Amino acid sequence: MGDPDNEDPRELIGSLRFEATQEAAGKRLDQWLTQMLGAEFSRSRVQALIRQGAIAVDGKPVDDPGRKLKAFNILDVALPGPEAAQPAGEDIPLDILYEDAELVVINKPAGLVVHPGAGNATGTLVNALIHHCGDSLSGIGGVKRPGIVHRLDKETSGVMVVAKTDRAHRALSEAFADHGRTGDLQRAYVALLWGTPERNAGTVDAPLGRAADRVRRSVVPAGRGDARHAVTHYKVLDRFGTSVATGKPGARNPAALAALVECELETGRTHQIRVHMAHMGHPVVGDPDYGQAFRTKANRLSEPARTVAKNFQRQALHAQLLAFTHPVTGEMMRFEAPLPADMAELVAAFRAS
């Protein structure tokens, strides 16, 4: 099929033949073929196969995904094997919480970038997963690569799920894009904040957009073109400081220097928790982007909390809980990761202050 000089150099792993039904008449080629091929093939992958000349209709190769079908068209599909992974795998230690043929759940350490990019061409989670998973990656979009469906900032630790197959990638991507509104998805983070929120629990409903430097985010008017709906629910777990005692457990004390909170995401925007907490006036301890003005608060701490806080060089934010429906079995999966050692030490120092 196709021009021999332009054929895909990958080895074919099989071929399939379909006959268009009368109900298929008038439908787009990519749409109907995606339905026929099932969950193993995303629509984008089917479109790529069409453009590569891997699909023939009535014996003639086609390259237009939008071509309209006629009843009784014969479709031949040549299935190339997945391309080799890009970038290259790297032997980077991973804390694997769970793994099966469809997905892998990891406890990401602080300092590990999720995906290669400018300034981080190697040494990322993707490099590590390509090495770890090897041939168990079936080909996301036709390439042997892990399917990243959500991300954690470089200096945020905690639970992440990554797809190993196209069907898992599709289902998990839909769940995260929907933010769990029509399915089971729960994400909870623990953060140490400067100061103490007024209420023991609450919600920050404030749209986010790009800040002036285009890397950071900020709360913006809802009508601005780049405004994205963002909702964070928070609950105060503990309050720390030299004058916390009020006689009422959990009661707010304006003198408290810090609070440990749990944040649940209703949406998943870049830097969402960090921006929303700073918007409340209580940025995450150690946050280099949204909490710099609060770093001198460490001087009000007693030792050893003062030294520990000054030496803590990242945001004190940890993805503690991730729960989702398995994309194939339908089973509810729930994973938790304890605070990493550096953040546990920081919280313990604040608690003792």
On whether both 339 and 217 belong to a single domain, the answer is yes
Residue 231: inside a domain? yes
Residue 284: inside a domain? yes
In this structure, are residues 129 and 104 in contact, taking their beta carbons and an 8 Å threshold? yes
On whether both 145 and 50 belong to a single domain, the answer is no
On whether both 200 and 344 belong to a single domain, the answer is yes
Last residue of a domain, one of 122, 147, 178: 178
Domain count, the chain: 3
Residue among 150, 152, 155 nearest 111 (CA): 155
| pLDDT at residue 9, as a whole number | 40
Residue 86: inside a domain? no
157-163 vs 147-148, strand pairing mode: antiparallel
Q: Which residues pair with 27 in a beta bridge?
A: none
Residue 106: inside a domain? yes
Q: What is the mean pLDDT of each run of 10 residues along the chain (353 residues)?
A: 40 74 92 81 81 88 92 86 67 96 96 80 88 77 76 95 90 82 85 94 95 86 91 95 49 70 92 96 94 86 89 96 95 96 95 84
d(CA 44, CA 140): 10
Q: What is the residue type of 182? A: T
Q: Domain range spanning residue 70?
A: 7-80
Query: Pick the catalytic residue: 153, 166, 287, 289?
Result: 153
pTM of the model: 0.74
| pLDDT at residue 182, as a whole number | 64
On whether both 103 and 45 belong to a single domain, the answer is no
Last residue of a domain, one of 178, 202, 222: 178
Q: What is the residue type of 50? A: I
Known active-site residue 63: no
On whether both 61 and 111 belong to a single domain, the answer is no
On whether both 126 and 27 belong to a single domain, the answer is no
Supply the CATH number for residue 26's domain.
Answer: 3.10.290.10
Supply the CATH number for residue 299's domain.
Answer: 3.30.2350.10
On whether both 149 and 268 belong to a single domain, the answer is no
Residue 296: inside a domain? yes
On whether both 335 and 256 belong to a single domain, the answer is yes
- Residue 162: how many other CB atoms lie within 10 Å: 25
Segment holding 97, helix H or strand E: strand 96-99
Residue 105: inside a domain? yes
